[in-house]
Structure formats: structure tokens, C-alpha cells
Structure 1
Amino acid sequence: MNYKRKTLVVALSLIGSMTTAAAYADDSDASLQRVDVIGSHIKRLKDEKATELTTVKVDDLAKQGLTTVEQVVNALSSNQSNIGANSSVGQSTGGAAFANLRGLGQQYTLVLLDGRRIAYHPFDGTAADLNSIPLSSIERVEVLPDGAAAIYGSDAVGGVINFVTKKSVQGLTLGGDFLTPQRSGGNEKNLEGSYGYGSLAKDGFNVYATVNYHKTDPVMANQRAFASAILPTTKPSVNSYPGNYSIDGGNTLIGPSSYPNCYGATAKGGYCVMYPSSMVGIQPETEQISGLAKGTLRIGDNHELSVTYNITRTKTNSLSAPTPTFGDVQLPSGTQGINSGSNPILPALRTIPLGDRNTEAVSTTQKLQVNLEGLVAGWDYRTGVGYSESYATEELVSGFTGINELTNAYLNNQISLTTGMATDPSVWSKIGLTGHLDDGKYTSVGADFSLSKEIYQLPAGMLAVAFGGETRHDTLTHNFNYPITNDALGPGMTLSKNTQGNRTVDALFGEADIPIIKNLDGKVAVRYDHYNDVGDTVNPQVSLRYEMTPQVLFRSSASTGFRAPSLYDMYTPNQEQLTGNNYANPLTCPSMSSSCTQIQRYMMTGGNTHLKPEKSSSLSFGMVIQPTKSITASADFWWVTIKDQIGTLPEATLFTPQYANLLSYDSNGNLVGQATTMNMGNSSSAGVDLDFRWTLPKTNYGNFGIELAGTYLAKSDYQIVANGQYYSNLGQYPTTLNEPTFRWQHTLTFNWSLGPWSSVLSESYKSGYTDQHLNPDGTQHFVKPYSTWNLSGSYEWNKHLTLTAGVRNLFDQLPPYSNQTYLFQANYDARFADQVGRAYFLKANYKM
């Protein structure tokens, strides 16, 4: 299939383009010259440079000491992830990590593996877990920050990230790296190996397999002074050891009889308090094993058959402070001689003798994909069938007890109400609670096909078209171990109920690249999706690309999009969960003054099968200039509007007098807010993506290059309820939402190479923002901008052995202070900063 044809100037305008990257095929492939490019179903010649998108080689990021897919995605300037491994501390996330392009939310970023979907994480159900992707098998990452529903369907509102596996591997390669922080805790080690046999060009086949092992040690709060410090803004807990108790429904707390000694706890207003944030593991322990096997067979000159299987198992152990009991354990009046009248006695004990709560989450994701692609009668075709599964479990390892166990210990006088101390120290080991908590599974079975071809000669060039379709069946199950979930203190899963759901999706799509006049090209695409549970949707996309001169290019794009309610949105398990912050009771203290007792409350969450899809519209305009062959710069302005967003009322909004109708008491007398999933208000975001690349003239001292990629957000507004007030989280931490967005983010990279030597110096920068709470003096606190640098040097010996040594967080920039109280970690925001500090790494790779 060696043929010639006129170069096709393709019309493809992508918002947020960071670099103009050429699509390319495997070097060993001498015949199949045309390749798939993210954002289009039309195959193109590899020398056409048909699309503008961000393409990142994994090997380049590995030289900066990045060893996980989560770290790789967080290195993208257009990404603003807010859920990662650190979020598992005190929360049932299963250790998952998600991408979040432009800060719109992880549910609006579609993650693909070799251009196809992977199963969502069952504990979130709205996005794919980045930990499920085997980094050692990935060649490059393609990022399309654009509304791409006309190409990929649901969820591609904020953009698409495609992880591309290696097409073929030959020979044996062994490698590994080790990272050790300057401070204790947080060591990382990584081992990987691959073996491949056969050449597609010479033998007509290739088979290879890769395996990877990665381990990250935990970091405890007491190993970092900034995390364990007790400051005036550090959130105290009335659950202490020895314990307090209340006899009037929680409005007044009575300290232990030993007050004011408090046995190491802090005396405050006649009772004891503790600071649980100083007892947690601020970074969990993670262990990941992944493998991928791939076989590719050339059939004749024009066809390729490939089979790929990958599996990743991630184990996350997170440590939270010892269990709090206030509000869960309720004792009858007269217990241990204490008269509470008609009110129950509420112990406020923290189970220090049991130690920290250790929760183990294990997520296993696997996928089997069979593909066939090639050329028939002049048409490029691509078809495949695949099965993807994500299975997650949670186990209580240690540090937990149950409502029944602790209640009986009080009633049997094994634990004193007035001191919180056990009369027999062995009682703690007897009332400890361990075992299986819950598990979930998300499966996706799908098949797809597409055809593309240049079909007609227009005056300005060849008209190319593509069309195809796909079908997919998804299922979600989430099961709870009721004897434990209904009894265990701490997980916040009281009254949880099993859930399951499924859906079938069918789609048809078409696409055309149209040369309009010389140097002006257009693209139109449309996709029809049918959901058996939420109906139909049609979404078009129109874009233009104008090459004014060889040095100046303009591009624009307009599209509509949608996001169908996920199975998790519809079938979220009904369960009571603890809030992240402390709140007053609006039913008994509607003034919400500072004198109101503020404690963690409960929310009853659950899905909604009557949700309707979200609708979106996207618009962009950009330009690329190349004044010289060594300098390229681009700027892309974009706007995204989303209607009928799916979500739940933020806890800070729910526990206010305005929503008193959604507050009630459960059977234990706990205040519970109803926070079921619903269609809410709209959101509107806008910004500009900037990119600058300069390759300096060659010198006797080596080759130098500079790259800058940044995203500036000009607008990030949202409504909580339909037709309600608009709020903004741009550069601020609003009370109605538990996360800020950054006005400016960038990555700056300096490259140098000379023969076998090379070096990389890179910076990651986030602008500051207004903090969640006021300072104690009533003034506004501002979280400072945050910048970290990585430095590495590499040497390649005889194209076989590569050694890399470097420093991550070169200048030891510790997290800026934040008074946020949403996370279990305190004094900083663990979602956006590096709590490890300066760390040294060594990486080796040997190819036999």
C-alpha cells in the first residue's frame, strides 16, 4: 500500500491548543502510513501535521522524576485536578485520582486509552481512575482541551486525554528508579521491565509485554512541621481522650473529672479538645502493580489485527485520626450514675488506645481490546471490540470500633464516662472492629467501527469524510457489608444501601474536512447518541482553519456538547456521610452565631433516576505564529457554558436556615441533611491557553530550548440552583463550594543536550487565591502563589544504558499556609501542593 496523493490541508480547530504536534506512526511501519489523530475519525498521512494539540512523551516527563499517571497529568498546565491519592485520607475515594481540564470538574474530562473508553472507578462513577493506566506501557499522552462531544459523545465537555500505548517493543528492557525525600517519609521506588519479539515491517508481527511495580511510603503529619503545627485556625475536635460528654443534646459539653489536666489533650472552656489533623497520614501508602501484553499481526499489506490486555492493581492505605464518637454513641439516662433527664447521654470520646484508623482500598482495573484496521477499496477502516472492568474494595484494617461495641463497654462500666479511660486496658482490643466494608464494580462492553476516505477533488483540495458508529453497555454495582457498615464508627456509611444500575448507549457519527478556498479549510462533525434511560441527543461541531501566511495561522471552533447523568449519579448508594467541616444546627440555633455548637454533621446522599442530561456549548478562537523556524507561539481564547449541571448541594449551603426543609434527625438523634443528586444551575467559564517554544541556535556548548505552556482563567462562575445567584470560585475558596480554581497556571521548561548528555529544568506554577476562612482578627487570608522546580541530568551510553539523576522540588518549596478545614489534613491544601518537599531521585534503564 505504497501510494502517493496530494497533501490534504485539514480543517481542524481545537480550543486550548498548546503546541502544534504532528501525528505519527511507528517507525517500523513502512506501509500503513496513515494514523489516527485524537479529535478526529479521519486518518491522515503522517507528514500532514493535520492537528493542533498537546502531545507529551512519557520519557520526557520521567526525566523530571514523575513516576505515576497522576503526576504526569498534574504536570499539565491545563489540568486542575482536585481529587488524588491524598484525598483518600478520611474519605471513601478508594485511592482514585482524576483529571480535571480547565477546572470544570473531573466528570467533564474524558480519559481514553488508545482512543477508547475505559471503565469508570466504581466509588466515583463519573470518571476513569488515572491509577488504572499502566504508565510503563504508555508512549505518549495526547491532550485535547476542547468540547469534543461531536467526536466522542458524553463527558468530553472540557476536553479529552488520550494515553497511547507503545505500538511495538523489541528486545528486553529493564529499568527502575528510587526517590528519597530530604525529610523522613515519602520514599518511592519503581521497577519495570518489558520484552518484545518480532518486527511488523520485517516479520509481519510483534508481541510484547510490560510489567511495573511502584511503591510510595506514607508521610505522617508529625513528619512535617507545617502539617502538625497547632495554630489559632487549626480545627479542634470535641472528641478527645479522655472523653467529654453532654446531657443536653450537645449544646453543653462536660469535661472529664480530671479537668483541667486532660491527659495531654487541650483544655478549652471546661472540656477537653484534640487536634486530629496532627495525627493523620497526610500522604497515604500506595502500592501498584501493572502489566500489559499486546500482540499485533500484519495481514497482507493493508490490514493489522491487534489484541491488547492490561491490568492494574492499586492498593492504598490511608491513616486517619482515631475514631470520634460524638453523636453516634447514645447512652440512657442513669448510665454510670449520670442523670440526663429525658435526653440521652452523648459521649465525646476519641479512641486513642486503638490507634489511627487504617483503611485499605484496593482497585483492580483490567481491559481486553481486539482491533482490526486497514484499507479496503480505498477506505481506511478501524473497528474493535473491548471489555473493561474496574473493581474496588475497602477494608477496615485497624483503629476502628462499632456503635454497639462501644455502647456495651460504657453500659458494662468497662469505660468510664467521667474520664473516658478503660478500667481494663485489654477492653480496647476486645471492642476493635476490622473486616470488609464495601465493594463496587463498573464494567463496560463496547464495539465500534469507522470508515474514512478522500472522496472528491475540490478546487482548494480533497474533500475527506468519515462516518461510523459504536455501541456500549455499562453496569455499576456497589455492595455494603451491613454488619460492619451499619455499626462501624468512622467510615460514615451508616444506613448505606446496596445499589446497581445499567445502561446501553448507541451512537452514529459523521465528519468532513472541507477545503473551502486556498489556505482556508473547514470541518463539520455531528454525532447522534441514544441512551436507553435518558433519551437522545445530537451534537454538532464546526471549525475553521486559515493559514494567512506560512508564519501566521488562525483557527476557531464552535460546538455543542452534553454529559449524560452517569450511572453513579443515578444510582449513588443511599448512605449517611460525615461532613468535612463543622456546622451549627440551623433548627435549634437559626442565628448561626459563633456561640452555636459546631460539630461534624451527617448528610444523606443518594442517586436520582430522574436526572436529565447536562447541555454545553463551546466557542474558541486562536492563532499560531512562527516568525522563524525556531520559534512557535500560540494563543487560544475559549468559552464554555454548561446548563443543568448535575450535583448535590454543597454541605456549607445545606446546613443553613435557608435549606432547613432538607434537615431532619435520624433514629440516633443526629442532624442529617438530604443531599441527593439533582440537576442544579448553570456554569460559565472562559480563559486563554498560551504556548511558546524556542529552539536556540546550536552552539559548541550544546543545544538549548525553552518551552512555556500556561492557562489563564478569566471566568469561572456557577449557580447552586437553577435560576439562582451566580457565584465564582476563580482565585478564591467560596463558602458554597469546597475548592478554588487557579487564575493562572503554567509549566516552564529549559532543555539542554550535548551528545549523550542532556538536562531538564522545569517549573510548575499556580497562582494564589483567597482562602476558605477569615483570619482570627477578621481579615481576609490569601494563599500565596506556589511554584516548584525539578532538575535532572541524563547520560545515554551506547543507546543501551540511560542514567538519570535529579532533584524534585529543587528549592524545597513547602505548601503555602491555608486555613481550609474541608480536608483531614490541616494548615495547607493537600490537593494542590507538594507535602513531600525536596527529594532526590536516581533512574536507570537498560535495553539489551
Structure 2
Amino acid sequence: MNYKRKALAVALSLVGSVGYAQLAHADDSGDNSLQRVDVIGSHIKRLKSEKATEVTTIKVSDLAKQGLNTVEQVVNALASNQSNIGANSSVGLSTGGAAFANLRGLGQQYTLVLLDGRRVPYHPFDGTAADLNAIPLSAIERVDVLPDGAAAIYGSDAIGGVINFITKKTSEGLSIGGDFMTPQRSGGNEKNLNGSYGYGNLSKDGFNVYATASYHKTDPIMASQRDFASAITPAMKASSNSYPANYTIDGGNSLIGPSGYPNCGAATAKGGTCKMYPGTMVGIQPETEQWSGLAKGTLRIGDNHELSVTYNITRNKNTTISAPAPTGLEVFLPSGTQGIVTADGSASISPFLRTMPLGNRVTEAVNVQQKLQLNLEGQLGGWDYRTGLGYSQSYATEELVSGYTGDKEVANAYLNNQISLVSGLATDPNVWSQIGVKGHLDDGKYTVASADFSLSKEVLQLPAGPLAVAFGGETRHDTLEHNFNYPISKDAIGPGMNQSLNTKGNRSVSALFAEADVPIVKHLDGKVAVRYDHYNDVGNSISPQVSLRYELSPQVLLRTSASTGFRAPSLYDMYQPNQSQLTGNFYADPFSCPSLSSSCPSLQRYLKVGGNTKLQPEKSSSLSVGIVIEPIKSITASADLWWVMVKHQISTMSEATLFDGNHNSLLFYDPNNGGNLTAISTTQNMGNSSSAGLDVDFRWTLPKTSVGNFTVELAGTYLAKNMYQIEENGAYYSNLGQYVATQNEPTFRWQHNLTLNWNRGAWSGLLSQNYKSGYTDQNSGAAFAATNHMVKPYSTWNMSGSYEVNKQLTLTAGVRNLFDQLPPWSNQQYLFQGNYDARFADQVGRAYFMKFNYKM
């Protein structure tokens, strides 16, 4: 078979499959029988290589030169990504330290993450997406990104796009590498060590086995180590939970300060009570530690078959530090406690204590992800085939390390007169050693067992070229379970799990797909694909896709693609544990006080959330139209307009919506429960969302000079529209370029990554910029009611230089955040970190790094 024709057939086979061509490069044997090409394709280098949909390919070695050391950092550097949940989000929240991709700002649940073309199991604590921190960067060779609807190709839920992390096919010899990064300010050091060893040449010996292992650690950063994070500003939330404690009686909204006010000790006197600023006590960056390993063996069988088995495991530990525990919404004392009698003798007394003597709350979350994959591929009877069996598991746990107490323990301390309601201080110095709570909090597991196959062949010669077809199938079984350790989870103050219930669920999914690449006329190619998915719990879907590629001239290429998608509610959407959670922001009681009144005390409240087994699937439509130009050989540029509509979007009401008294949110209230939500706000179908934007890409290879060779690359995404409903048939809202309470986050109108590369002989250098546009701030609370504060655009530069000492040793040194750009000031009140938004900015500041890699 002619190689070009065969390559096309193989590509079609693998595009139609959930699998990905791991054999991305021909081996060095000169035998074309097992040559493979990339399924998604490469970054734009030559016009003729362009597909009908845009694709970005990134080499991990290039990203390492920017000082990026984790998969989360790599994904956040993508211009098309707008991640809003990462390691920093775990401070004060039970995310397990997970980080998620979010292409085009559509939502993490719409980005499909693959490892060597197959699904990565979801994180069990938020089972709507794969945890990026469970993917070992040291084992990855490159990253392919398809920011377009790919439901007909990869799965009906690949609505927002696909990110495929690709490991090496083979490796020979010994390789050792490492790096160290130290910030200009204290805290936040990073270190990494990795090594690999491989034996056997696939073309000469007929086999190859290799293994790789790595260790990575990031030190924590406390708010006290960064002036911008510890400054007392109007955006820093003041808490009524203090030490010494305030208290309320009769369930009223008026706080009573301890005797001796305004002498509040370590707290601050404010408004007749004692106040504290918990945001100044937190760790703004958690400590993370990752161990990973991957082993792979490949055996060539005859001339046309390859059998491979791969096992990988990653253990990621995330340790967060939060302010001492608040008790104001969990401890209720009977009337008459320590001589304080309520008006009617029946209402309770609530002490607003912050357990400062116990120290900060320290939580440790560990996620262990592992996968075993067996593949067989080659040619049989004139057909290219690929098949595989896999089993993967993500197991996460949370441990309370120190600083925690329980509502029963605190209540007993007051009832036993060990803590005074009047002074707010401990009368018994031994009380704190008696009321500490620590130990296992909860754990969860997500598993995926899968099998897939694909076949492809050129079946007909048309006037404009060969017609190639592919078809195949996939089946998988997913399970999710989340268990809580009673009585710790019911008693501990802070995690918000005192009413959480164990949960589990499972589903089976099977799919059939077909695809054809049709050369219509000269220079015009078409592709049609269709996928049928069957879910045993929510029904069936058919997802078609049509795309066209027209080479208008050797310098101009036009392309377009249209598709539909179907996203079944995830197991987490359906079986999320019913639990009571503490809000991130402070809210007034909507029953007893108008929420906009500045005289109403705003406190952290409790709300209840849970899954919903009656959810309906989401349906989507997407369209893209693009152009690629190559005016001269050294310049390639592209622009792609895209639009995505999702119907019956699955989500939950944000806390701000639940506490605003509108959108039927008062149905979740009990007016006798102190402003807390008592009914469960379940996951629900909340209406539609509509997004549109423009992706641009530019590459210029400058003429060679005596001082070296230069290339310039720019990748950017402009969002023109991002609208959504928070209830079926309701009003549309938008968080485009603005922070809105209904989403607790903004989306950025413009993001780009700009890179200047240089090389001369053994020397090379890189200068890169990551840019995010500004947005209108949250402006929450009376202090900001009359303002329209803008969060400034945020830009960081990275610079490095590398030297190849010889064929074995390469050294790299550089600076991350070269100009020491600190996070722009923000009013956001959602995160535990104050004065800035830790989801979108770098709290490390300028940092210096060194890397080495040695190959034998």
C-alpha cells in the first residue's frame, strides 16, 4: 500500500476511535508496515498539513523552558483554557487538591482529557472532570489540543474540546533530569527529580521496555509571606468569629461582644464586637507533593502487529492551611448557660468563637490514580485495526491533621464552664488539648473499565482521491463511591460534612461509530462522522459531525466544521453526597433582614447540596469557520470563529443566588434556622448557555542571522459571547469580562500566549508572555456598592536560556514571572484568600529556576 494512502487510512481509523495513535513517529527500521501518523495532527507548520478543524501540538520540552513543572501549569498556559479550579482553590474547600481544564471557558465538564487517547478517570470528589494533577508531566512527550466539538469522534460529551497527553512510544538508555525553583520572596520553593531507563530496539530487536519515575514538591506560601495577601483592605473579610468570642441570644442578628470590649486581645474591636481577619492567616498556596511512575513494554509480532502493555500510577498529596475554626453556626447552647437567659427561656445561645489556641486548620488530601492498558494493533486482511482493554482508578482521601474541633466538644466546654461566655476566654487551660479533633474524614473512588476497537481501509478510488472509511466501537463501565468517616465527619467544625451521607453509583456506556474521509473535488475534502452512544441509565444519543477543508490556493486554506453533542449527567451530578457546606462569602439572613441593608450582619452561612438522579441529558450544537494563510513559506497564520450552544445545562445554584431571595431560592429556607438553608439545593437542569469566540494563531520564522535563528509564535482566544440561564426558560446572564455573583467568577474576554524562540549552535533561549484581559470586579458588599472597580489586565513573562554541553547533557536556567508582576487587587469574597483572585493569578512572584537533563 502506498504510504501516504495508508497513513490516511490509519489516521481515519484512529480518529474514529477513542484510541489515539501512540505510534506517532515511524520507527527507524525503514519498514512502513507499522508506520502511524498523528490522529489530531500537528501545530501549523505547512499549509498542506492543515485539518478541517484547528489543532495545537505542544512539546513538553518547550514548556519546561518556561519553568512550568506540573500539568496544571501547562494547561493554564494555553490561550484557549480558562481554568477556575486548581490547587489554590483547595484552600478551605474540599476539592482534594484537584485541578481541571476548561477550554474556551465553557466549563470543566465539557473538556475531555485523554492519556494516550483514552479517558482519564474523574476525580471522585468532583466527578465531572479528570484531575490534571494526576497526570505525570515527566512521562509526557507532547500535548495535543483540539478546542472544538469532537463528540462524534471521541465521545458524545467532548463538547468543549479535547486535550490529549501523549507518552513516549519507546525509550532506550538511561535519562536523569531535575530542576529547582526558588522565589524571590520567601515560601513556594519547587523541586523535581525524574529518571527513565529503556531497553530494546523495536525495529531491530522486536521489543522495547522502559520505565520512568518522578518526584515533585511545591512548598506552601502563607498570606503573611505576601504583603498583597495579608493587607487589611476593604476587600478583606472581617469575621465575627473571634478569640475572645462574641455571642448571640434568641437567634437574633445582634452580636454581643465579650466583657472588656473594646479590648479584644488578638482580635480587632469593630462595631461593638470583636472581629478577626481569617484571610490573613491562611496558606494562599498549598503544599503539594507528587510521586509518579510509568512502565511500558512493546512487542512486535511478525511484520504487521504490535502488542503493548502500559501501567502508570501517580500519587498526589495536597496539604492546605486555613484559619482556626469558626463555631458561630454550629454550636447552640441552652438558655441559662453560665447565667445567661434568653428572652423566652427557650431559644439558644450561639458563641461566635474562633479556636485560636488550637492553631490553623491543616488538611491533607491524597489522590492515587493508576491505570493498566493492553493494546494490540496492526494490519489484518488488508484492514488496519486497533483494539485495547483498560482499567483505571482514582482514589482520594482527606485527613484532618490539626487545628480542628467539633461542635459537641465546644458545646461541652461551655457547659462545663471551661470557656467563659462573658469574657470569651478559656477558664481551664487544659480545655484546648481536650477538644481537638483529627483523623480520617472521607474517601472516594472512581473506576473505569473499558474496551475498544477500530477498523479502517481505503475502499474506493474517487476522481479526486481515495475514499477511506473507519468504524468501530467502545464499551466502558464507570463506578463512583464517596464514604464519610463517622463520627468525625458529623462532628468536625469547618469541613461542612456534618450532614453528609455515603453515596455510590455506576453506569455502563457502549458506543458505535463510523467515519469517512471524502475527496469531493480537487482541493476540496469532506469528512463525515457519526457516533451512537447508549447509556444504561439515561438513554441513547446520536452525534453527527460534518467538516470541510478547501485549499483555495497554495497560500489560502478554508475550513469549517459543524457537530452536535450529548452529555449525560455525570455520576457525580446524579450521586453527589448530600452535605451541608459553609459558604465562601458572607450573607445576611434574607428573612429577617433585606440582604442589601448595610445594618444587617453578614455571616458565613450553611447551605445543603446533593445529587439528583432525575437529571435530563444536555444537548449541544457547535459550529466553526476558519481560514489559514501562508503568504510566504516562513509565515503561517490562522483564525477560527466558533460558536457553541448547550441546552438543559446541568449545574447547581450558586451560593449568591441561593441567598439573594430570588429565583425561588426562599424555598430552601427555614426562617427559624438562623438564615441557613435547610432543604437540599440539588443539581438540576438550569437552562441554556451560549458562547462564541475567535481563536487566532500566528507563527513566523525570521530570516537567519549571524547571531542566531528566531521564531515568533502567538496563540490567542477572544470571547465575544458567554451567556447562560440559571433556571429553565429564565433570564440570560453573562460573566464575560465581569465577575458576577451567579457564577462566582469571571470569564476573560482575551487571553494569549506569546513566545520568542532563539537558537544558535548549542545555545537556545526563550521569552514568553501569558496575558489575561481585565474585568469588572465583584464589587460585593456595602463598601463597594457605589464603585465599579476594574481588575487590571494581568501579564507575566518567563525567560530562560539553555546550553547543550554535549549530546548527553543539557543545562537550562531561567526566571519565571520575569518582571515580578503581582496579582491585581480584587474585591472577590468567594475564596479564603483575600485581596486577589488566587484562581487566575500567580502568588509566587519572580522566581529563579535551574534544570538539567542527562542521557546515556
- TM-score by shorter chain over 0.5: yes
How far apart are 1:494 and its partner, in Å?
1.4
Change (3 A) 1:3 1:242: closer
Instruction: State the partner residue of 1:15.
Output: none
Letter in 1 for 2:848: Y
Give the Å deviation of 1:706.
0.3
Cα drift, residue 673 of structure 1:
5.6
1:762 is matched with 768
What is the rounded CA distance, in whole Å, between the counterparts of 1:347 and 1:5 in structure 2?
A: 76
SS at match of 2:667: helix
2:28 partner amino acid: S
For residue 189 of structure 1, give the secondary structure of its aligned residue in structure 2: strand
Per-residue deviation, 1:593:
1.8
Q: 1:326 to 1:571 in 2, by over 3 A?
A: same
Which residue of the other structure, out of 702, 707, 715, is the alignment partner of 1:701?
Answer: 707
Aligned residue type for 1:269:
G
Secondary structure of the residue aligned to 2:426 is: coil
**Does the aligned pair in 2 maintain the 1:742–1:766 contact within 8 Å?**
yes
Q: Secondary structure at the match of 1:772?
A: coil
Counterpart mapping for 1:545-624 below 5 A: 545-590=549-594, 592-624=596-628
Q: Which residue of 1 aligns with 2:739?
A: 733
Distance 2:465 2:4 in 1: 15
In the alignment, the residues of structure 2 paired with residue 541 and residue 47 of structure 1 have an alpha-carbon distance, to the nearest angstrom, of 21
Contact 2:708 2:759 in 1 (8 A): yes
Note if 1:133 corresponds to 2:141: no
Structure 1 counterpart SS, 2:491: coil
1:311-326 matches, cutoff 5 A? 311-326=313-328
The separation in 2 between residues aligned to 1:538 and 1:662, in whole angstroms, is 37
Structure 2 counterpart of 1:75, from 77, 88, 113:
77
Matched, 1:791 2:799: yes
Instruction: Note the alpha carbon deviations across 1:207-245, whole angstroms, 9 max, x for none.
Output: 000000000000000000000000123211000011100
- In the aligned structure 2, how far is the partner of 1:224 from the partner of 1:148? 43
Instruction: Supply the distance in 2 between the matched residues of 1:29 and 1:627 (Cα, whole angstroms).
Output: 37
Q: What's 1:691 paired with?
A: 697
Aligned to 1:362, the other structure's residue is in SS state: strand
Q: 2:720 aligns with which of 711, 714, 736?
A: 714
Letter in 1 for 2:132: L
Q: CA deviation at 1:427?
A: 1.4
Q: Secondary structure at the match of 2:423?
A: coil
Distance 2:5 2:412 in 1: 82
1:674 partner letter: I
Give the one of 820, 827, 836 matched to 2:835: 827
Q: TM-score, normalised by structure 2?
A: 0.95
Preserved CA contact (<8 Å) 2:319 2:364? yes
Residues 9 and 48, structure 1, Cα contact 8 Å, conserved in 2: no
**Superposition pairs of residues 282-301 of structure 1, within 5 angstroms:** 282-301=284-303
Cα deviation code 1:275-299 (max 9, x no counterpart): 0000000000000000000001111
Q: CA deviation at 1:786?
A: 0.1
Alpha-carbon distance in structure 1 between the residues aligned to 2:417 and 2:567 = 56
Matched, 1:388 2:392: yes
Residue 274 of structure 1 is matched in structure 2 by: 276
Q: Quickly say closer, same or farther: Cα 1:261–1:754, change in 2 above 3 A.
A: same
CA distance in 2, matches of 1:539, 1:4: 29
Mapped to 1, the partners of 2:249 and 2:164 lie a distance apart of: 58
1:25 matched residue in structure 2: 25
Q: How far apart, in 1, do the equivalents of 2:421 and 2:108 lie?
A: 45
Match of 2:202 among 196, 200, 203: 200
Q: Which amino acid aligns with 2:347?
A: N
Structure 1 unaligned spans of 5+: 13-20, 41-45
* Contact 1:10-1:513 within 8 A present in 2 as well: no
The partner residue of 2:683 within 677, 680, 690 is 677
**Equivalent residue runs for 1:178-577 within 5 Å:** 178-341=180-343, 342-577=346-581
Q: Which amino acid aligns with 2:150?
A: A
CA distance in 2, matches of 1:612, 1:740: 27
Alignment of 1:815 onto 2:823: yes
Counterpart amino acid of 1:25? Answer: H
Please list the CA deviations of residues 636-690 of structure 1 after superposition, one character each: whole Å capped at 9, or x if unmatched.
Answer: 0000000000011111111122221121269898444632111111000000000
Q: What corresponds to 1:661 in structure 2?
A: 667
Kindly provide the amino acid, as one letter, of the partner of residue 107 in structure 1: Q
Structure 1 position 23, deviation (Å) = 9.7
One-letter amino acid of the structure 2 residue matched with residue 706 of structure 1: V
Aligned-pair CA distance for 1:2? 8.0
Displacement of 1:379 in angstroms is 1.1
1:167: Cα distance to partner? Answer: 0.6
Question: For residues 646 and 777 of structure 1, do their structure 2 counterparts lie closer, same or farther at Cα, with a shift above 3 Å needed?
Answer: closer
Aligned residue identity for 1:741: T
- Partner residue, 1:43: none
Q: In the aligned structure 2, how far is the partner of 1:430 from the partner of 1:760?
A: 56
Aligned pair in 2 of structure 1 residues 29, 475: CA closer, same or farther (>3 Å)? Answer: farther
Amino acid at match of 1:518: K
How far apart, in 2, do the equivalents of 1:556 and 1:247 lie? 66
| Residue 649 of structure 1 pairs with residue 653 of structure 2 | yes
- Residue number among 163, 167, 170 corresponding to 2:169 in the alignment: 167
Consecutive unaligned residues in structure 2, runs of 5 or more = 13-20, 43-47
Is 1:804 equivalent to 2:812 in the alignment?
yes
Letter in 2 for 1:85: A
Cα distance, 1:154 vs structure 2: 3.3
Q: TM-score, length-normalised on structure 1?
A: 0.96
> Aligned residues: percent identity?
75
What secondary structure sits across from 2:34 in the alignment? coil
Per-residue CA deviation, residues 8-52 of structure 1 (Å, 9 max, x unaligned), is 69999xxxxxxxx99941543644222340399xxxxx9898974
Cα distance between partner residues in 2 of 1:660 and 1:88 = 29
Deviation at 1:696, TM superposition (A): 0.6
The CA RMSD over aligned residues, in Å, is 2.0
Paired residues, number: 835
After TM superposition, give the deviation of residue 418 of structure 1 in Å.
Answer: 1.6
The aligned residue for residue 754 of structure 2 is 748
Amino acid across the alignment from 1:321: A
Secondary structure, in 3 states, of the residue corresponding to 2:88?
Answer: helix
Q: Indicate conservation of the 8 Å contact 1:9/1:461, yes or no.
A: no
Aligned pair in 2 of structure 1 residues 10, 394: CA closer, same or farther (>3 Å)?
closer
Change (3 A) 1:580 1:606: same
Q: Is the 8 A contact 1:663 1:673 kept in 2?
A: yes
